[in-house]
Structure 1
């Protein structure tokens, strides 16, 4: 069971990690504080320390639960098996947008999601510099800074749509289709290198969609649930529903069903 008290407790835990670890280290990192955990993938001491604090706090909130954190998985990929497991499983991204954070740029976010018996049931995304926290639980909607929020219900014409397409990792054929279709979109944005912020911007109406190729679970499980609970859609390119345990590529998130279909046809239609 997920109640309002748990939503508040996890939100407070993310704020604690932000206030005590992440924000104080922003633009204060030394060269030794940033290392490469895989080719092209960096990690900072802020990621590591925040994940330790958040993971310990989540285990206190739900004794017996399992935490699958981005940095822990970098050390032990076998942890991913828990995403289809029984009981309570937490997904944690201690600093989403690490490349931004390490370079002294914003945005970055702290994110978490709770899976119960293999299904996402609650999610949190915190942008500490914007003083913005979104939380959701299945069946109870999404709250943004304590107030209920819904994604837009209108369907703008393609020339009025605004959204992001992360084309860097797309296969060449798909990249070419997206770029060609982008000429019919009102504003096709290059992305902020922080998935959490992209999801928050869909909630606030700043943009109506976001297209991704890589779908690491800690990057997308929290935001996908937030958007869905607020009335939006998060699906693979072929229309199947996104699940964080799926080892696949391609994700299109949109403010509503009709926007999803419009963007899918405009950017990915054969």
Structure 2
């Protein structure tokens, strides 16, 4: 992936946020918000942003396939491309739609690129905070254009702060995680925006995030950002995350050396 493409996708997200997403923030009418499924919202901003981003990505990489969250809602068979050959884009036009629809922050715009089934590029933009992170496989992660390394080997378990997204956890797992929080320095509530959680792992605002639901557009971009910054994203059993896996449970830790400690503290309590 050429450096020019890395910059072009970031600029595309900024442009989409400025032209489509931000002008609709706190200006949505009742008719602009719908439910794809009970509790799963979509807004006119999601649909318009995905249309713009998808068209531009196809121009940037002719012959590429776009798998967008809203397109998959209409045609779930698009997910088959995540294990296919060639270049495949994953798009979350507005991550944190519930926040956006309610006039709250944070929310984010996110894109990932898979090449022959493997993650090779990632972009996450928080347009209100004006923070853009991008990554290129094997070449590291940038935060607003500057290289960033999230790992902190001096950190100890009792001094960590991180998030556990407990809303969707099975009851037994939720109880273990909440009890295990006593072993962690600070267990934070979720922000209902995966993109922002991953950005906070890059900035050092938190050292880990625990998720249950792992829809590919929610996690593929952030996983590569964290990996290229020195962290890890693994299933609870220690296997590496892949966007095509239809699994549950994901523990993202900014420092690989702490992954096992965090997992044991939260899941074996």
- TM-score, scaled to structure 2: 0.99
| Displacement of 1:100 | 0.3
Is the contact made by 1:163 and 1:210 (CA closer than 8 Å) also made in structure 2? Answer: yes
Gaps of at least 5 residues in structure 1 are none
Q: Distance in 1 between matches of 2:158 and 2:113?
A: 37
Q: Distance in 2 between matches of 1:154 and 1:264?
A: 17
Q: Distance in 1 between matches of 2:191 and 2:2?
A: 32
Instruction: Report the counterpart of residue 7 of structure 1 in structure 2.
Output: 6
Matches within 5 A, 1:209-220: 209-220=208-219
Tell whether 2:202 aligns with 1:203. Answer: yes
Is the contact made by 1:166 and 1:212 (CA closer than 8 Å) also made in structure 2? Answer: yes
Is the contact made by 2:151 and 2:229 (CA closer than 8 Å) also made in structure 1? Answer: no
Gaps of at least 5 residues in structure 2 are none
**What is the number of equivalent residue pairs in this alignment?**
269
SS in 1 for 2:237: coil
| Displacement of 1:182 | 0.7
Q: Runs of at least 4 residues of structure 1 off by over 6 A? A: none
* RMSD of aligned residue pairs (Cα, Å): 0.8
Matches within 5 A, 1:154-233: 154-233=153-232
Give deviations 1:115-163, integer Å, cap 9, x for gaps: 0000010000000111110000101000000100001232422221100
Instruction: Report the counterpart of residue 106 of structure 2 in structure 1.
Output: 107
Instruction: Report the counterpart of residue 80 of structure 1 in structure 2.
Output: 79
Give deviations 1:93-116, integer Å, cap 9, x for gaps: 000000000000000000000000
| Displacement of 1:203 | 0.4
Instruction: Report the counterpart of residue 248 of structure 2 in structure 1.
Output: 249
Instruction: Report the counterpart of residue 21 of structure 1 in structure 2.
Output: 20
Q: Distance in 2 between matches of 1:17 and 1:95?
A: 10
